[in-house]
Chain A
């Protein structure tokens, strides 16, 4: 089942434009109604979050990437190519890096490990048997023995068999070993996550908040190819274990000019993507595009200015940047795809209200726009995942409070 769904999902992820399907099939999925003003498909070829030229994206903090890299050669890459590029750099610079998981040897079901086995050898890029708990335990053992493993879980939906190894072993290893100095800090675990249109129950989940309850791992989710490359390189080089979650809908859809040289983007540091005065919108991963569309409409319609923040690392997250922004705007919206209950939004909202200096600056309740507290049902995705209209409405609500 898992395997069959892969090809289908790949095809959908393959195109940033709506796929033209025979009418009876097109009707099978909820599509954008013709009159929609807000809920139009995200146009990744136009968005200011992606670098359509070598000058970089219109929005974002470009100074994080060193000028010699920024101004150097760039290459057009989508998200899977950027990840492939980062893996290639990591493998080339450090003999202790190994890449493994289910089906990674031939290039991976999402093509993230293409050509790596050919270039770096079958002993460094290899398939494992189909066992997530085994993959994670194997990775922890490699890390403890001084290697720098990059494990892949084929879909974030299938990480749960490895939960024990992540929570009780990988996360606690440094703490448990204490003065022996052994740890799993060199471990990186990649996994595709998030909705892709018709992933149903087990090809759509975003389980990041389950891992943010467990100290020990850093939990990272990039929003673009440039970010994916920089954050993945940081994750691999980091001496803390990292869960690296890749929004699979962006694998082929998000295309931009990515610097060819190696560079890192900081972990546990949020990015103020766009400055604003009236409201702060906080998100990460794919919903960043939804938020930007909603913000642009709200600014146009309401004559306001919105600040947009990308958390990037959802744990341990960058409170300082978020609190500074909310103190300035007094209004805040947290947006994520995963369920609202005990999600990232809950933690961010709680931290905002418990900071005395920020609490007194709040002009409206902290709003959370997230998936409903349900499972990701096949036919209802469009009604479940936060869309532009819901973000827009909550901006309005917050301003009218």
Chain B
């Protein structure tokens, strides 16, 4: 590929004299761009491969066919990609199936728990379990991951325990977030998954930065493991400016990062028709110069095949970003604070549940393969339910994090102001013991001793 022009002379000097490294940074030189006489191609620096035309013709988005959706297994569980061979044992498939089942059962229990007032908030991921579980199953456990909030399956597949899930949901003293975050804002050092934050799309440029860091670290220590950054987001979040910034930076800096969009049709109440007018999110990837694919997000095999291939590609040629748009349907309400039947027909949802669901699709495939049946299904559901309820009641009984933790981690060390404020709070608790209930907090008010 021809390199792009840079107008200023000092720039050229500065960049061309950089010592050569193994790093594939294209050297940009002004001399490589000049308009040759009678050329049939544009040589403006902004677009080098564009041919001249005498046709006054605007490009109409609708004249392009929608990008196709890759699938391996259809909604009846039958293989449609004839080249497909399962790359994992039946036992591993069963494990992935159980991970999806775990999430869907936990969703029901926790949704009800919120309705009973035992939990402040919850978000289910019904209908989208294949995207998260499938992608997790083909990534390296050390690949750092940024989630939006509907990727519980990713945590589960990577090894999050029932106790860890419940500790976060109940914000008890075992919660790594130290009781600071709303429920479902999971994070894990052990699993290399960043803690979820509520502001949408902020994680996307951060993932680009993380990808660049991985590339630099591999360059500085060639013997280290090659890793990619992974970033999930919904189609609604893709309307944020951060999405645009992230795609563009990842492409220009050639960052090894896999962007996985869950296009489930809704952002709370907003249907995709009010979200965008282009061909979904995938069509945008091409505009940023990013290798892109659209897949059937209800097909765990398609997710696995696409993410596996994407990881390989992301590490090629010194690194590059990949965009995967997973088409799916948000079967559930947006969250426990939302009644989705206020803006969509109940029958539409019921149709999706019945007709096409990632869990039943994999189940059909497994049953056809002969590694799953009704008895195993019942047994699995019962034992998962028991396990979750046990974790639930244990987590609910645990103490809340120590009061002192509300002041910590703002800075690396407590500032003099924060120390004074800890003391001020402690004095209040001493003077007005009947106004505050701190009995549930680990160590009571003792943790506020400075």
Contacts and interface: CB of A to CB of B under 8 A. Distances in A.
Given A178-B195, A216-B411, A144 B210 contact: yes
A185 B213 CA distance: 15
A122 B15 contact: yes
Name the 7 nearest CB pairs between A and B, nearest first.
A141-B209, A137-B205, A134-B245, A145-B213, A141-B206, A138-B209, A106-B11
Interface string A146-185: 1101000000000001001100110010111111111101
A129 B248 contact: yes
B175 to A, nearest CB: 7
Interface stretch (B41-49, B112-120, B412-420): B412-420
Contacts of A174: 409-412
Contacts of B248: 129, 131, 134
B207 to A, nearest CB: 6
Contacts of B51: none
A145 B144 contact: yes
Interface of A: 95-96, 98, 105-107, 115, 117-118, 121-124, 126, 128-129, 131, 133-134, 136-147, 149, 161, 164-165, 168-169, 172, 174-183, 185, 215-216, 218, 239-240, 268, 316, 319-320
A173 B316 CA distance: 31
A105 B187 contact: no
Contacts of A320: 416
Contacts of A316: 411, 415-417
B415 A138 contact: no
Contacts of B244: 131, 134
A123 B199 contact: no
Contacts of A139: 209
Contact of B210 (A98, A134, A141, A161): A141
A180 B212 contact: no
Contact of B21 (A121, A164, A168, A240): A121
Contacts of B199: 164, 168-169
A185 B197 contact: no
Contacts, number: 192
15 contacts: A122-B25, A131-B241, A131-B245, A133-B205, A137-B208, A139-B209, A143-B209, A145-B213, A165-B205, A169-B199, A175-B410, A176-B187, A177-B195, A215-B411, A320-B416
A215 B416 CA distance: 13
Contacts of B253: 126, 128
Interface in B211-251: 211-214, 216-217, 219-220, 229, 241-242, 244-246, 248-249
Contact of B206 (A118, A129, A169): A169
B177 interface: yes
Given A134-B242, A177-B194, A140 B206 contact: yes
Given A117-B18, A131-B248, A146-B217, A165 B202 contact: yes
Interface string B83-112: 000000000000000000000000000000
Nearest to B8: A106
A178 B220 CA distance: 29
Contacts of B213: 141-142, 145-147
